[in-house]
Amino acid sequence: MTVEYDRDKSLAVMRGKLQNVSVIYAEANEVGLHLPVACALMQKESGGANIYGNDEGGMLQGFPDLVNKDNWEAFWWMVSHKGHQSNGVGPSQITSRGLLQSMLDKGLKPWSIGDNMKFGFTRLLDYHDSAPEGERPWVYAGTLYNGSLTYGLDLAERIQDWREALRGAKL
């Protein structure tokens, strides 16, 4: 059962903690991801900001500007044609070359805040839905999303924190 949230109350709770809160709310609803999960993922990855990551040696590591079409094209050319190491892209911090190519193949724009969140949210939800019996689904999903059990455990804790924070925003 999907929990419905009052948009105005939810956005008020999210503001000051995350960026691009209206887009987080809209994309989470569109893909069917519970809002506390979307907030927890954004909190862990980028705070909702449309930025490049800080992976050591990653292309555009620490780049001061937001991700946009022009700098994305330069980034992608360096990664896909010149063999430079990829880096997290956008609010969902999509990092691997294969995942970025998958976004493009689906007609999604990695530089677009909404497309980037949609891809990240869908990916996390798919991992959750594929969790083997006996696994904690959000820990499993977070572990696959990032490659680290520690990440998965922390994601699950943050989901609980966001459930509590958004409790008053339920319809």
| 31-61: pLDDT as tens digits | 999 999 999 999 999 999 999 999 999 999 9
Is 81 part of a structural domain of the chain? no
Residue 110, SS3?
coil
Helix then strand count (H, E) for the chain reads: 8, 0
Is 56 part of a structural domain of the chain? no
Model confidence, pTM: 0.96
Is 16 part of a structural domain of the chain? yes
For residue 77, is pLDDT > 80? yes
- Band of the pLDDT at 165, cuts 50, 70, 90? very high
> In which domain, by residue range, is 122 found?
7-49+113-169
Is 12 part of a structural domain of the chain? yes
Is 35 part of a structural domain of the chain? yes
User: Count of domains in the chain?
Assistant: 1
Is 162 part of a structural domain of the chain? yes
The pLDDT of residue 2 is 67
Is 143 part of a structural domain of the chain? yes
Is 14 part of a structural domain of the chain? yes
Q: Tokens 């990032």 label which residue? A: 146
| 79-117: pLDDT as tens digits | 999 999 999 999 999 999 999 999 999 999 999 999 999
- Here the contacts of 60-69 (C-beta below 8 Å, separation 24 or greater) are 60/87, 61/87, 67/110, 67/111, 67/116, 68/111, 69/109, 69/111
For residue 1, is pLDDT > 60? no
| 115-128: pLDDT as tens digits | 999 999 999 999 99
Distances (CA, A) of 105 to 65, 99, 110: 26, 10, 11
